Amino acid sequence: MATETLTLGKALNAGLRRALENDPKVVIMGEDVGKLGGVFRITDGLQKDFGDQRVIDTPLAESGIIGTAVGLAIRGYRPVCEIQFDGFVYPAYDQIVSQVAKMHYRSRGKLNIPMVIRIPFGGGIGAVEHHSESPEAYFAHTAGLKVVSCANPQDAYVMIQQAIASDDPIVFLEPKRRYWEKGTVDLDAPLSEAYPLHASRVARAGTDATLLAYGPMVRTCLDAATAAAEDGRNLEVIDLRTLSPLDLGVVYESVRRTGRAVVVHEAPSNLGMGAEVAARITEECFYSLESPVLRVAGFDTPYPAARVEEEYLPDLDRVLDAVDRTFGW
């Protein structure tokens, strides 16, 4: 087994490299992905090794990037589009929800759109306006799209390859604040059996309450569980990983054991992913719940200026406060 200690960003780079090596129909396209290697250097070195016909620097036109990728996908290619920052995706929103999501259905299954739209998302890096957003609910709500988010280097390496190999269009959300966090990566990890793409996983086993998160908030919840253990509370942490389709079997099993659930995400709480997860838990686990399902989320405002970002984003204290509330009912 070949293992390396990699940052999440380097793991994505390694996964993209492996996909380019394995399939000549894989192409990467986006603003500054070639010579620069992307603003976060996720595609660093790929154009040098695979050429500018497979790692393509595009104009600053997100709608054009996605529209071109649709045509490539119809012709049998597997385009991987990078949206440079989450807040830049909106010019491409029409293409994504009107074309990418609907082409397979519209053609009665005759056409597949095997493309991946990579989006660095979330806050935590002190960025300026339009550079910190959490748009996941827009895409998870759209029938015809699949939406996933990695939270650690191993998942980043495996999930990006699985997404590229899929025949479905996938919005691939990358937690930009976690790009520099390190972990052990099995470079020979199987891409199906051991690490299924659309499956939640238990990140930390526990017995007293269940914390549910994805992307950047998984680490926050793991830290909260470590802190709670000092007070004698054993919290289970589940990384949802897939937002559409949701995989809630492991969630239901956990909540039926613990009787308590807290859903955590950076996006605003109003009509966010946490609302859907909370509703589904209540429908399926009502008689097992010892208290209401609670949400810890960003506030219902635009992402604030960098100086007050820490006041907006869910942190360890807000998560632990919600845990305390679940035991106070």
Closest residue by Cα to residue 150 from 185, 99, 115, 190: 185
φ/ψ of 71, rounded to 5, equals -60, -40
Could you give the C-alpha distances from 86 to 108, 220, 327, in angstroms and in order? 31, 21, 36
> How far from the centroid of its chain's Cα atoms is residue 103's Cα?
23
- Mean pLDDT calculated for residue range 288-292: 97
Q: How confident is the model at residue 194 (pLDDT cuts 50, 70, 90)?
A: low
- Mean pLDDT calculated for residue range 205-234: 97
Q: Are strands 235-239 and 26-30 parallel, antiparallel or unpaired?
A: unpaired
Beta bridge partners of 239: 201, 213
Alpha-carbon gap, residue 214 to 198, rounded angstroms: 13
Alpha-carbon gap, residue 98 to 144, rounded angstroms: 10
CB 153 within 8 A of CB 185: yes
Angle between helices 217-229 and 316-328 (to 10 degrees): 60
Closest residue by Cα to residue 251 from 292, 211, 288, 214: 211
Residue 78 DSSP symbol: E
Q: How confident is the model at residue 193 (pLDDT cuts 50, 70, 90)?
A: low
Confidence (pLDDT) at 306: 85
AA letter at 254: S
Q: What would the pLDDT profile of 254-265 be if each residue is shown by its tens digit?
A: 999 999 999 999
Confidence (pLDDT) at 21: 97
Task: Give the 3-state secondary structure of residue 166.
Answer: coil
Q: How confident is the model at residue 5 (pLDDT cuts 50, 70, 90)?
A: very high
Q: What would the pLDDT profile of 29-40 be if each residue is shown by its tens digit?
A: 999 999 999 999
Domains and CATH numbers, the chain: 3-186 (3.40.50.970), 201-328 (3.40.50.920)
Please check the confidence at residue 293 and state whether its pLDDT lies above 90.
yes
Q: Which residue is catalytic, options 131, 141, 198, 265?
A: 131
Mean pLDDT, all residues of the chain: 96
Task: Write out the H or E segment, with its range, that includes residue 264.
Answer: strand 261-268
Confidence (pLDDT) at 305: 83
Whether 131 is catalytic is yes
Strands of 209-213's sheet in order across: 201-204, 235-239, 209-213, 261-268, 294-298
Please check the confidence at residue 287 and state whether its pLDDT lies above 80.
yes
**Contacts of 89 by beta carbon, 8 Å cutoff, 6+ apart:** 62, 83, 96, 117, 119, 133, 135
- Mean pLDDT calculated for residue range 183-190: 92
Confidence (pLDDT) at 1: 66
